[in-house]
Amino acid sequence: MKLIKSRLVLHAAVLSLAVLLAACSKSQNDTGDEGEKMPVEVAPAQRQTVTRSLAYDGDVEAEYEIQVFSKVPDRIEALLVDVGDRVRQGALIARVRATAIEQAVRQAEAALIAARSQEANVHLEYERSQRLFKEDALSQQQLDAIRTQFEAVAAQREQAEAMAKTAKSQLNDVEITAPIAGIVAARNYEEGDMASPARPLFTIVQMNRVKVAVDVAESDIGSLKTGQVAEVRVRSYPERMFKGTVAEISPVLDRMTRMARVEVVLDNPGYLLKPGMFARVEVRIGSIENSIVVPRHAVIESTTLDQQNGKGVVVKNYYVYVVTGGRAEQRKLGVAYVNHEFIAVSSGLSDGEQYVTVGQNTLRDGARVFVAGQEGSAR
């Protein structure tokens, strides 16, 4: 009896194991090499000329921006222009009260008159002393004393003339003129305010041309040169592109950021570009002829940590899937150039090969695929 029970248990175990192996085998067949085909879209690898460029974000600035100050710290009598007004160079734009300066001018002029009168009197005395000295009626010592007195009053007259000139110059400073032709960008006072030499009355800008200032990384500086063509876009005109050139590259880098300031200058027709706008700048630095180009969205990207010279270096890898014989083959790409739109391929893909553009994120190497839209390719 015990022997029969043992045999029944053994047969049950063998049967269970067989069912389990059959289930595993069925699962492998369903998901393995003979599994269901995955739909994909493909495109042929083609060669073209690639324009290499560097992209940066920056701010639009006026080509010239001048702050106008009052040299006289007094009440503002009149502000003759406002924000948005166009001014010509030398035009009167403000006037400051001149009460204290006018009094200083009158005092300086009075002192100058007195100094000239005194000089005239001493000059007559000096001439008379010279005649007496020739007639031996005056000693050399007495003549020298009068000459010294004459030279002293002459110096006092020159000092009085300088003081009068300075006072009149300050009187001219109460009338404030535009140092350049341009547009008033800011007005910081109202009539009746007390002008301060530390705070500008106006800001005047020239906007016939504008510049975009960007910060460039140390690794890119060697690729930039003055005169290179730049394309500028702003959010206010998303469909419009403005052309400019690299006008200035800073000779030094910021010690904290290791970046250099670069200025791109461009024409501003109709004053469409306004200081303070956010701008996207692309600078053309060269081109690659006859290169296979793959759109960035078709590429699978990954990063690995490699050891180079005993140090860990983060390396970015790029892959595509190529359809050959109804299967997806994963290819690692050699990259000659990459930007936010496409990759210029140096190896890993040949002319005319069909690479996957849609559906690549669900594939694995060797997976069965069919091209969507092609009849008879699906199972």
- Give pLDDT, residue 139: 80
What pLDDT was estimated at residue 34?
Answer: 54
Q: 310, 352 in Cβ contact below 8 A?
A: no
Asked if residue 129 and residue 118 are part of one domain, the reply reads: yes
Same domain (yes/no): 188, 125 = no
What does the pLDDT read at residue 12? 39
Q: Which two tokens mark 196? A: 């301060």
User: Can you give the pLDDT at residue 153?
Assistant: 82
Q: Residue 89, Cβ neighbours under 10 Å: how many?
A: 11
Kindly state whether residues 277 and 178 are assigned to the same domain. no
pTM of the model: 0.61
Question: Residue 188, Cα to own-chain centre: how many angstroms?
Answer: 27
DSSP result, 42-66 = EEE--EEEEEEEEEEEEEEEEEEEE
The tokens for 335 are 């990259």
Domain of 195 in residue numbering reads as 70-93+174-200
Q: What pLDDT, on the 0 to 100 scale, is given for residue 102?
A: 65
Q: Residue 218: how many CB atoms within 10 A of its CB?
A: 12
pLDDT score at 3: 36
* pLDDT of the residue at 17: 42
- With H, G, I as helix, E, B as strand and everything else as coil, classify residue 146: helix
Q: Are residues 334 and 282 in the same domain?
A: no
N-terminal to C-terminal alpha carbon distance within the chain: 56
Q: How far apart are CA 288 and CA 286, in angstroms?
A: 7
CA distance 326 to 320: 16
Return the CATH number at 351: 2.40.420.20
Could you report the per-residue pLDDT of 18-31, keeping only the tens digit for each? 334 444 444 444 44
d(CA 314, CA 201): 54
Domain assignment present for residue 311? The answer is yes
Looking at the fold, whether 76 and 195 belong to one and the same domain comes out as yes
pLDDT tens digits for range 268-314 = 988 999 999 999 999 988 889 999 999 999 999 999 888 777 788 88
pLDDT at 28 (0 to 100): 44
Return per-residue pLDDT of the chain as tens, 379 residues.
Answer: 333 344 434 443 433 443 344 444 444 444 444 568 899 999 999 999 988 889 999 999 999 999 999 988 888 999 999 999 999 999 999 998 877 666 676 777 777 788 888 888 888 887 888 887 787 777 888 878 888 887 888 888 888 788 777 766 667 788 899 999 999 999 999 999 999 888 999 999 999 999 999 999 998 999 999 999 999 999 999 999 999 999 999 999 999 999 999 999 999 988 999 999 999 999 988 889 999 999 999 999 999 888 777 788 888 999 999 999 899 999 999 999 988 889 999 999 999 999 999 999 999 999 999 998 765 544 4
In a domain, 16, yes or no: no
Q: How many CA atoms lie within 13 A of 63 on its CB side?
A: 17
Task: Give helix then strand counts, H and E, for the chain.
Answer: 3, 19
| Domain count for the chain | 4
The last residue of a domain, from among 233, 255, 287 = 287
